[in-house]
Structure 1
Amino acid sequence: MRFHDIREIRAGVGDLLRGNLGGVRHPLGFVCLPLDRSGGDGACLHLWSRRLAPPTPPTTSQIHCHSWDLVSLVLYGQIRNVHEIVTDADAREATHRVFEVMSGADGDRIEPTPRTVRHASGPVEVFGPGDTYTLAADRFHSSVVPEDGETATIALGRGRPGSHDLSLGPLGAGAHRVRRQPLDPGEAALAVRLIRTYLGVSP
């Protein structure tokens, strides 16, 4: 998968939506429908919809960074990318601990690290239909859609060696596991149908 292929994926999204796509509820609030996973690259449809049952809230927080460089194309709706300012701090001044998220076939293993930090919200970027945005690995951020908003994006990721998936969480939280919630066939079909409808793609 090459990053400049994202427009080709957009042009062919109708064909992709005619396949049998499985999906999972992601703890960060969206449904993920995998399109392609090859080597260190990946392509997924991300869908936020009030029509689908919400996922279990994250056990850490919405503030996270990826181990991969992201290119994302907004298919419809709106998404706000909030850049978070994270500063190392000792235990007396810290507000959060940094956790490493290690994903596997059965879910995520979340491990506390020795690093404690303070954080503040930084610049906010707003993107709408047709917009493409990028985010480098290791940048703490949070993604927000309007309340009760309907939004879908195509996300391309390219792994960056040496980087880690991280999340900010409570100072005293310990190691734990989180299982991803798979969509049942009816929910997966509804997710695909919603995207088709908003894009005007025929079945």
Structure 2
Amino acid sequence: MLPSAGQSSLTPGAFTMYSELFDAIERGAGGWVADWARTALGEVVSGVRPVAAVSHPLGFLCVPVYRGGDDGVCVHLWEPGRGQAPLTTSPTHCHSWDLVSWVLLGGLRNRTIQVEDGADATHRVFQVRSDPDGDTIEATDRLVRARVTATTEHHAGERYSLPAGIFHETVIPDTEPLVATVALGNSRPGTADLSLGGLRTSDHRVTRHHCDRATTVAAATTILNALTDHHVPG
């Protein structure tokens, strides 16, 4: 049974955080997920949870909230002027972890990409090896063609998921001034983080920009204010 908004298990850092959020998202309990986000982000603002947002190369700010073994929970924010780290490959990538996400605010599109080996290649496959300071982007010998096979739209109050190993792109429509999601990741053994890049792109290193406290608090406050101003479905 899911706890109510007033119970202590909403406190970020509880060992059941991932499973409780997963269950809430699967049940469509949007109000519960929004209450959790308010609590988590409020602790970021107050300093109870001393985390630093990360400017992600895919165009969003990631506020890491929880990591326990193979499980992780983050809040992602897309907003003009935020999270604009340079992208050295392409937006097409696949995770080494299963994604389950809940859209808190705004809407986004997910494009599923099929990659095919053979002649007339348009991209090289790169393996991404991440550590706390950044990403090592390693070129592989695999050359592929890429094409969009499906596009789905997801709006505030909706769940979406993506298994590990599926190439995709996240697209934020120009009409969306602010998009925020709760993202759950569960690592899958034997899979790798991959990205598509240029045919002639070589190995390189990308440093993740860890935001200062003021920028982190500003991002968390932006989401909190938007959650207050907008009705949260579910």
> Normalising by the residue count of structure 1, what TM-score does the alignment of the two structures yield?
0.93
Higher strand fraction: Structure 1 or Structure 2? 1
Structure 2 CA distance, aligned partners of 1:78 and 1:48? 10
Q: Which deviations, in whole Å up to 9, do the C-alpha atoms of 1:62-92 show, x marking residues without a partner?
A: 00000001000000101100011111124xx
Higher relative contact order (CA 8 A, sep 6+): 1
Find the aligned partners of 1:189 and 1:75 in 2 and give their Cα distance. Answer: 18
Q: Structure 1, unaligned stretches of length 5 or more?
A: none
Does residue 40 of structure 1 match 2:64? no
The range that moved more, 62-71 or 18-27, is 18-27
Q: How does 1:42-57 map to 2 (within 5 A)?
A: 42-52=72-82, 54-57=83-86
Bigger Rg, structure 1 or 2: 2
Counterpart in the other structure of 2:12: none
Contact preservation (8 Å) 1:99, 1:113: yes
Q: What is aligned with 2:132?
A: 105
**What's the CA shift string for 1:140-170, capped at 9, x where partnerless?**
0000111263100000010010000000000
Percent identity, aligned pairs only?
43
Name the counterpart of 1:16. Answer: 40
Q: Spell out the pairing of 1:56-95 with structure 2 (5 A cutoff).
A: 56-90=85-119, 93-95=120-122
Per-residue deviation at 1:51?
4.8
Q: CA deviation at 1:121?
A: 1.4
Shift of 1:187: 1.0
2:43 alignment partner, SS class: coil
**SS of 1:33 mapped into structure 2:** strand
Q: Provide, for residues 17-75 of structure 1, a one-character-per-residue CA deviation record: whole Å limited to 9, x for no partner.
A: 111342110000000000101101100000001253x4223101000000001000000
Kindly state the Cα deviation for residue 5 of structure 1 after the two structures are TM-superposed. 4.5
Matched, 1:4 2:10: no
- Per the TM alignment, residue 14 of structure 1 is displaced from its structure 2 partner at its CA by 1.3
8 Å contact 1:98–1:113 — kept in the other structure? yes
Residues 115-152 of structure 1, C-alpha deviations (whole Å, 9 max, x = no match):
11001112110000010011010000000111263100
**Partners of 2:188 and 2:34 in 1: CA distance:** 24
Question: Corresponding residue for 2:228?
Answer: 200
Q: Tell me which of 159, 164, 168 is aligned to 1:141.
A: 168
Partner of 2:211: 183
- Structure 1 residue matching 2:80: 3-state secondary structure: coil
Unaligned runs of 5+ in 2: 1-17, 45-50, 230-234
Q: Per residue, is there more helix in 1 or in 2?
A: 2
Distance, in Å, in 2 between the alignment partners of 1:160 and 1:81 is: 21
Q: Which residue of 2 aligns with 1:26?
A: 56
1:77 is aligned with what amino acid?
G
Instruction: Give yes or no for contact 1:83–1:123 (8 Å, CA) kept in 2.
Output: yes
- The aligned length equals 198
